[in-house]
Amino acid sequence: MSPQDSPHSDPRPQAGAGADVEPTPINRYLRHLAAERRLSPHTVANYRRDLETLVQFTEGRPLDALASTDLRRAIVGLRAQGLAATSVARHLSSWRGFYTYACRRLGFTANPCVGLRPPKAPKQLPQPLSPDACAQLLDTRGADPDAPALHARDRAMFELLYSSGLRLAELAGLDLADVDLASGEAQVTGKGRKTRVVPVGRQALAALQAWLPLRAALARDTPALFVSQRGARLGPRSVQLRLERWAQQAGLTQHVHPHLLRHAFATHVLQSSGDLRAVQDMLGHASISTTQVYTHLDWQHLAKIYDQAHPRARRKS
């Protein structure tokens, strides 16, 4: 005769007499994730481990009898084991999902996750390319130096990303009519379908002027500014892959992606001008608090210069 289900047992039905045993709340939840939400076996296994951890920390007490204080102790226990804040947050998310389901479908009368917040993870600041690295990237011969149209298109895209701080989707969504070479401006459609006008730098304008005649020979019934060899609008993933190839060709060891050029734009403009509000407008941030992350980056730059230059900051060798 099969043993009764435990929180550690397989959520799938068992053959034989054990199939008649009432599954535990955890197993019912795991079956719900697999059968109704159609989550992958890997994801379901992660939920299982997180819930088993809760059972271990609460010494196998019934899950419908746990209170918020029990879950707080479990969180403290996870932190004491050295788990990162992000891992603890994942555990709490798994527990919250289980209790939400249990209150709706299993008759649990209280949700001990209500009011619990995960520990704050340290904010990861973006690591932009240095001005020298940007120049090294943009001055390279590119991924296809023997394909003039692709080379001109890629240079125009990457110059524009760095010149105007565009998001990847904003760049891919640009139409020919959105760029005014005479005024040196581009109209960009950002998040929430909000439009803004951004300046286009001298190098980006020159790159666009080199690309446009070649684009005319490729484009097929599309208003897109940047098109593929087949004449269709170039998608975001293609832009990412092209930039990765350019970075490799340029000999950069840092992983380069389109958003990194946006970070570089914001950081370098802020370091030069100190005008946070102008950077906010050019980036299209709804709140200046989003832009303020670049003030931290700027401080890192200043602190490095200080450590290198100030007589009282230099370490003795």
- From the candidates 47, 99, 162, 294, which is the catalytic residue? 294
Tracing tokens 């704050």 back to the chain, one arrives at: 120
Question: Of 103, 97, 109, which Cα lies nearest the Cα of 48?
Answer: 97
Q: Could you tell me the strand order of the sheet in which 185-189 lies? A: 179-180, 185-189, 195-199
- From the candidates 37, 49, 104, 191, which is the catalytic residue? 191
- From the candidates 73, 90, 285, 301, which is the catalytic residue? 285
Query: CB within 8 A of 128, min separation 6: which ones?
Result: 260, 263, 264, 266, 267, 268, 297
Is 47 marked active-site?
no
Is 167 marked active-site?
yes
Is 242 marked active-site?
no
Query: CB within 8 A of 200, min separation 6: which ones?
Result: 160, 163, 164, 179, 181, 184, 185, 186, 208
- From the candidates 155, 262, 263, 268, which is the catalytic residue? 262
- From the candidates 167, 215, 263, 268, which is the catalytic residue? 167
For 245-268, letters b (16+ CB in 10 Å) and e give ebbeebebeeebebebbbbbbbbb
What is the Cα Rg of the chain in Å? 27
Any idea which residues carry the catalytic annotation?
A: 167, 191, 259, 262, 285, 294
